[in-house]
C-alpha cells in the first residue's frame, strides 16, 4: 500500500470522532490490508469486551471509536521509518498493536511524565501541575529508537481515574508547534462515579482523541485539587515496531 497525505478533517469525517491534532492539518497515511484490519480490530474488540464487564458505560463510549483505531493504525504505519505490516502477536520485522499499559507510556526512566515507573499511579500535590505527557521543562514524544518506534492513541474520553475522590477539574494540551491553546475544565459533577457502586471516574476530553508519535512532542497536564497518590489510566492503543514490545517490560 502506498503512502498518501490525508487531512485531519477528512479523518474526523470518516471516523466520527474529534481528534486533538494541535495544529496538525495533514497526516501521512497508509491503507491497511484486510488482514491488518482484522488484526487491529481483533485487539480492539477484545479490550472492549472486557471493559463491558467493568463499566458498560465506558465500554460503549470506546466501542464507537473502532474506526478511529483502524485509521490511526494506518497513520502510525506511515509514521514509522520502515514499512512493515501488522501481525498479532508481533514477530521480528512486523508491527504490533496493544492496549496502553504503563511501560508503553513511560518506556524509559527519564521519559517526561508524572507517572511512576511501571505504574498508572502518580503523586499529586494540590495546586502543582501534574503531567500525563511531558513535564515543566520537556515535551513528550513516543519512542523513536531504531526498530522500537511507537505511536500512542488515547481514545476520546479515555482518561479514567480509579479511587474514592477524583482529583482533577482543569486540563491543558499544547505541542511543540502549538503552544497557545488555553486550558479546559471538566463538568462539575465529576465526583459522581460513572457506574453505580464502582469507584471509577471518566474525564471528558473536549479536544477529542489524542495521538502522540516520535516526531512532535506534546504536553498534556492538569491541576490537581487534592494532594494524594492518584491512579489515572489512559484507555487507548499503542502501535509499535516489534522490538519495542518483543518481551515483557519493566523499567
Q: What's the pLDDT band for 191 if we cut at 50, 70, 90? A: low
Q: Is the pLDDT of residue 77 over 70?
A: yes
Contacts of 134 (CB under 8 A, 6+ apart): 112, 113, 140, 217, 218, 219, 220, 221
50-58 average pLDDT score: 93
| pLDDT for the residue numbered 91 | 98
| pLDDT for the residue numbered 194 | 73
| pLDDT for the residue numbered 38 | 98
| pLDDT for the residue numbered 190 | 64
> How far apart are the C-alpha atoms of 162 and 216, rounded to whole Å?
30
The CA–CA distances, whole Å, from 249 to 90, 93, 106, 204, 214 equal 15, 19, 11, 30, 19
User: Among 103, 141, 153, 144, which Cα is nearest to 241's?
Assistant: 144
Query: 155 with 235: CB under 8 angstroms?
Result: yes
Contacts of 226 (CB under 8 A, 6+ apart): 124, 126, 165, 167
Q: What is the pLDDT of residues 94-108, one digit of tens each?
A: 999 999 999 999 999
User: Among 29, 18, 131, which Cα is nearest to 76's?
Assistant: 29
Amino acid at each position: 500500500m502506498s503512502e498518501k497525505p490525508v487531512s485531519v478533517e477528512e479523518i474526523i469525517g470518516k471516523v466520527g470522532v474529534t481528534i486533538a491534532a494541535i495544529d496538525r492539518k495533514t497526516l501521512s497515511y497508509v491503507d491497511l490490508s484486510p488482514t491488518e484490519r482484522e488484526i487491529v480490530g481483533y485487539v480492539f474488540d477484545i479490550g472492549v469486551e472486557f471493559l463491558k464487564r467493568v463499566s458498560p458505560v465506558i465500554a460503549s463510549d470506546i466501542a464507537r471509536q473502532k474506526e478511529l483505531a483502524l485509521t490511526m493504525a494506518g497513520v502510525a504505519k506511515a509514521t514509522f521509518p520502515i514499512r512493515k505490516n501488522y501481525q498479532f502477536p508481533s514477530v521480528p520485522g512486523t508491527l504490533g498493536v496493544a492496549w496502553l499499559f504503563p511501560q508503553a507510556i513511560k518506556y524509559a526512566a527519564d521519559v517526561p511524565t508524572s507517572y511512576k515507573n511501571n505504574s498508572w499511579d502518580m503523586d499529586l500535590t494540590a495546586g502543582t501541575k501534574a503531567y500525563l505527557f511531558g513535564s515543566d521543562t520537556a515535551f513528550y514524544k513516543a519512542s523513536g529508537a531504531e526498530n522500537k518506534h511507537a505511536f500512542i492513541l488515547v481514545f476520546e474520553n479515555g482518561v479514567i481515574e480509579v479511587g474514592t475522590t477524583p482529583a482533577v477539574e482543569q486540563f491543558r494540551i499544547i505541542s511543540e508547534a502549538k503552544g497557545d491553546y488555553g486550558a479546559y475544565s471538566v463538568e462539575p459533577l465529576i465526583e459522581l462515579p460513572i457506574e453505580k457502586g464502582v469507584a471509577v471516574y471518566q474525564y471528558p476530553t473536549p479536544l477529542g482523541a489524542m495521538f502522540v508519535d516520535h516526531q512532535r512532542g506534546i504536553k498534556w497536564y492538569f491541576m490537581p485539587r487534592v494532594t494524594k497518590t492518584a491512579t489515572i489510566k489512559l484507555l487507548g492503543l499503542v502501535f509499535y515496531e516489534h522490538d519495542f514490545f518483543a518481551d515483557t517490560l519493566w523499567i
